[in-house]
Structure 1
Amino acid sequence: MSDQAKPAAHTDTELKHSPWLVLVILCLGFFMILLDTTIVNVAIPAMSDSLHASLADVLWILNAYILVYAVLLITAGRLGDLYGPKRLFMVGLVVFTGASVACGFAQNPDQLIVFRVLQGIGGALLTPQTLSVLTVIFPPDKRGAAFGIWGGVAGIATLAGPVMGGWLVTDFGWRWIFFVNLPVGIVALVGAAIVMPDLKLNRRHKLDWLGTVLVTAALFLITFGLIEGQSHDWGEVWGPITIVEIIAAGVVLLAAFFWHQWAVRESEPLVPFQIFRDRNFSVMNYVAAAIAFGMLGLFLPLTIFLQSVLGLSALQAGLTFAPMSLISMFIAPFAGRLSDKTGGKAILFVGLSLFSLGMGVLIASSHVDSTQWHLLPGLVIAGVGLGLTFAPLQTVAMRNVEPRMAGAASGIINTTRQLGGVIGSAAVGALLQAQLTDKIGDAARAESAALPPAQREEFLTRFAGSAGNLDIGSSAGGVTFPPGTPPQVVELATKIFHTGFVNGMRVTLWLPIVVLASGALSVLLVRKRQRQSQPEPAYSSQD
């Protein structure tokens, strides 16, 4: 390739390995990172039993990782532009793998939350480098296929988490969902050192530390408020400070962040607003957030339902999700190739619509006496829908992005995806806790009518306002009773928990459906692809 054909922002050394081989290594590291967004879900009942974690603890174990991961993605994208994506990819692998081992040795919920934060830091350093490198080393007419494989891996990792986690929890114990990252991390690290190109940008970047602090504080306060709201009755937390005030402060800081980004738009903001001049990129950011909201909003309630209500093992619960994973895995590459030919708009709209429909069927199929087979039709429909979303989303989003902005663009879209997951998980968790307070209370009053008055009063007291402190372990019935409690009382409590949880879950899951439906409608705003000559790939390396 001539010097004129290459962008000035890159060095002139040729790529030494096939871009498809580079894609394999990138996908291996990316797979491990995304796996941890869902693999923990299926282990929640086992971890709750082992670490004595309440539902509020569980929400923090899930969200500590996703929150830190989301907040640091844009900054990590900038660091990749500054120091090179290969170096950041490898550093992220080391941090994530080490933190995973530490998670496996955690002895209480607080320790596990801290190590999950470290995992989030490693994951954030790694993830933006994948899309950045793919955008540079693949020509535009091949990016759809590459993004199809990348998107398929993203879908498989997110959906296969429950299956792999269920097997590990059942046969080896919940700690192995973290220990398994050690060999995968080592293989990915060695592969990256050998085959990844050392892409270098000639222009230097500054880091917007004020913007990083503002967005980190804002998202922490909003997430904290959503997770802790129900357990504090949406009232006071620290002295006179209330949950509502904490969430409001987070919203104000988030507004301050965007104002700051606009004020420094001519220098080096975390969010370069010029990227959003492309309507397709802007719309795809919302769509990515909506998909993550729907996916992570689905997993927590459904996993608890499968194990703590239906009594399935972790492996059986994980296998329940297997059809969804397999269908998505096979459809994603075809959707990517078809997106190269058609542009992807129609495919993405159909995919989101089917995902929404599948979740609706899933809700209608969820009852106290359901089996995993009753859930199969909804999961199959949702799997088809997901398979049709990942590749078209990336193709449409990155189509008009210049190579020099690839790091920032990939950081932004991955950030919005993970923020959608954070807000989805926290919001669904908050709504679930609120619904459980009402539905379990209703079931307790109805089912305990036959108990003697004194015993009934004590019985109802244990259930009152218990949602945030529910024992959701697979061996529990929602509320812990002291030793010596008559078996019939414990059995009654278990029945109440099952009934209340199912009724609360059925209402809660309508929230992600509404968000997904709005994402589908937003796809209609995407501009159709314009026919143009395809330039040569814009890659370079320095080994």
Structure 2
Amino acid sequence: MTSQTTIDKSPQGQDPVPAPAKGLRGHPWLTLFAVAVGVMMVALDGTIVAIANPAIQRDLGASLADVQWITNGYLLALAVALITAGKLGDRFGHRQTFLIGIAGFAAASAAIGLSDSITFVIAFRVLQGLFGALLMPAALGLLRATFPAEKLNMAIGIWGMVIGASTAGGPILGGVLVEHVSWQSVFFINVPVGVLALAMGLVILKDHRAENAPRSFDLLGIVLLSAAMGSLIWGIIKAGESWGWGSANTWAFLGGAVVLFAVFAVWETKVKEPLIPLGMFRSVPLTAGTVLMVLMAFAFMGGLFFVTFYLQGVKGLSPVDSGLHLLPLTAMMIVSSPLAGALITRFGPRVPLVGGMVCTAVAMFGMISLTEGTGALAMSLWFALLGLGLAPVMVGATEVIVGNAPLELSGVAGGLQQAAMQVGGALGTAVLGAVMSSKVSAEFADNWKDAGIPVPVDRRLEQAAEFGTVPAELAKAPGMTPDLAAKIGGVIHDTFLSGMGLAFTVAGVVAVVAALVATLTKRGENADAGVGGAHI
């Protein structure tokens, strides 16, 4: 049985003040360190897998759709389960859900590494996503309950720095592991990290529950929200993968999602203890922060998917060299994350968030200019600017969402923040993937003809153009000459770059919209009242 902290009452309209911790268990800064190790594992996994995707595709003979599902299956599970997982933490305690999430995530990672087919990789990635959903909002719930209000922004800033640094460090670590060990090691690395996080969590973490923590479950609400989120993400993914945006199947799922969300919203106004008290969204900053997370993740995750294929396919770099070329992105996120946290703590989140998304938009538009001959200095400029833009958004939007929610809904707020990021990531990967595929399909045959290639168009090479990779066996094909191979390689690269440029254009426009949304944000008020009638 876990011990449960007492929470001192504070003046009306403020969060309760956590009782001072004695010893290791429940110490605020040790709690931050313990949850940071667990969060690092999940954040690292988000980008370390991107570097491994080309190796997985080659080793398991996967298609572009299969590779997208390595990401989309994970994001789908997270998006569907995060808010419910946050509610589980509010009900049963964030310590318990955090520890279960850590153990399950590490075990699912080991299972992926042991898989010998793309089907099993995708299946265990879904399971990994479900356990990750337990872990992430619980981490934010523990921080919200452990730190007093005047130090919460600083704690979330450091938490965001860990996420930013881990996210940015993934490509480098992934490159080293893929090139010198195997793509499986990208998943096996989570096992020792998970064991360490679990051991620290058992010793350090202390359960915190607000006085008004939920005592019952909105089961119908869970079913409705899960079905709505699942229908939305599934429709988006399948539209980009095979159905197309004009398909009746696509619009059936998207329309079904709208109906399910509407029914969910009506039900939440009637149930005694709703899954998501809709009064939360009367807070304009909280709503704006949620939308901002969706748009930021759309641009970043969708764009990063193509950057790795550009570096390894078009530029012909090894996995390690690909990671090293992303070092400016990594370094800038590590350096600017704590600076962004300090600026947000002192001046509020609005200006850093707007500035961050403007930098992100400029970087996305700048990356349209990437070609096969682009030098390291030019690439570094755009990657560094992207890192500079993303850091304040990852830190600031989290503070806006969690800081504007009451303590008894900290798990739901944490789940909402993470769900917004995963929905945005799924949207970005699916929509930009569809943009790439449509552009390749529209241009490949014409580019083939314009290159003067004296053989019919090979549709297998059109698929290769979606990755930007010239198949190794091309040079050994019957009748193939060096000149002909060079022409075909040029068509593959040119077509890929055209599709990538259009994808970056869309991502840049989304980042501009996000900058406008960021003007509506402000510092978290730590409000206790007005959310479904709950008071602490």
TM value normalised by structure 1: 0.88
Distance (whole Å) between structure 1 residues aligned to residue 316 and residue 106 of structure 2: 32
Residue equivalent to 2:519: 524
Single out whichever of 19-28 and 223-232 deviates more from structure 2.
223-232
Higher RCO (CA 8 Å, separation ≥ 6 residues): 1
Residue equivalent to 1:537: none
Deviation, structure 1 residue 450: 4.6
Single out whichever of 323-332 and 181-190 deviates more from structure 2.
323-332
Distance (whole Å) between structure 2 residues aligned to residue 481 and residue 322 of structure 1: 33
Single out whichever of 351-360 and 390-399 deviates more from structure 2.
390-399
For the residue of structure 2 that corresponds to 1:519, the secondary structure is helix
Single out whichever of 481-490 and 302-311 deviates more from structure 2.
481-490
One-letter amino acid of the structure 2 residue matched with residue 270 of structure 1: L
1:147 is the counterpart of 2:152: no
Closer, same or farther: CA 117–530 of 1 in aligned 2, 3 Å: closer
Residue equivalent to 1:540: none
Q: Which runs of 5+ in 1 are unaligned?
A: 236-241, 533-543
Residue equivalent to 2:102: 93
1:493 is the counterpart of 2:488: yes
Deviation, structure 1 residue 517: 0.9
Query: Does the 8 Å CA contact 1:222/1:246 hold for their aligned counterparts?
Result: no
Residue equivalent to 1:205: 215
Deviation per CA, 1:8-34, whole angstroms, max 9, x where unpaired?
Answer: 999997534321111011011011112
Deviation, structure 1 residue 177: 0.3
Closer, same or farther: CA 492–268 of 1 in aligned 2, 3 Å: farther
Residue equivalent to 2:21: 15
Question: Which of 411, 414, 419 is the aligned partner of 1:415?
Answer: 419
Residue equivalent to 1:173: 182
The equivalences for 1:338-487 within 5 A come to: 338-364=343-369, 366-447=370-451, 449-451=452-454, 456-457=455-456, 459-460=457-458, 462-463=460-461, 466-467=462-463, 472=467, 476=471, 484=478, 486-487=480-481
**Number of residues of Structure 1 aligned to a counterpart in Structure 2:** 515
Aligned Cα root-mean-square deviation (Å): 2.8
Distance (whole Å) between structure 1 residues aligned to residue 372 and residue 465 of structure 2: 18
Single out whichever of 85-94 and 207-216 deviates more from structure 2.
207-216
Closer, same or farther: CA 434–219 of 1 in aligned 2, 3 Å: farther
For the residue of structure 1 that corresponds to 2:437, the secondary structure is helix
Closer, same or farther: CA 50–391 of 1 in aligned 2, 3 Å: same
Q: Which runs of 5+ in 2 are unaligned?
A: 1-5, 528-536
Query: Does the 8 Å CA contact 2:329/2:383 hold for their aligned counterparts?
Result: yes
For the residue of structure 1 that corresponds to 2:519, the secondary structure is helix
Closer, same or farther: CA 262–205 of 1 in aligned 2, 3 Å: farther
Residue equivalent to 1:309: 314
One-letter amino acid of the structure 1 residue matched with residue 471 of structure 2: A
Deviation, structure 1 residue 482: 9.0
1:32 is the counterpart of 2:26: no
Distance (whole Å) between structure 1 residues aligned to residue 352 and residue 459 of structure 2: 52
One-letter amino acid of the structure 2 residue matched with residue 484 of structure 1: P
Distance (whole Å) between structure 2 residues aligned to residue 287 and residue 411 of structure 1: 15
Query: Does the 8 Å CA contact 1:292/1:421 hold for their aligned counterparts?
Result: yes
Single out whichever of 396-405 and 300-309 deviates more from structure 2.
396-405
1:515 is the counterpart of 2:524: no
Question: Which of 136, 146, 150 is the aligned partner of 2:145?
Answer: 136
Residue equivalent to 2:304: 299
Deviation per CA, 1:214-253, whole angstroms, max 9, x where unpaired?
Answer: 4434444444444444664639xxxxxx844234323323
Question: Which of 269, 272, 275 is the aligned partner of 2:277?
Answer: 272
Residue equivalent to 2:286: 281
Identity %: 30
Query: Does the 8 Å CA contact 1:444/1:460 hold for their aligned counterparts?
Result: no
Closer, same or farther: CA 191–2 of 1 in aligned 2, 3 Å: closer
One-letter amino acid of the structure 2 residue matched with residue 205 of structure 1: R
Distance (whole Å) between structure 2 residues aligned to residue 3 and residue 162 of structure 1: 44
Distance (whole Å) between structure 2 residues aligned to residue 260 and residue 221 of structure 1: 13
Single out whichever of 72-81 and 220-229 deviates more from structure 2.
220-229
Deviation, structure 1 residue 516: 1.2
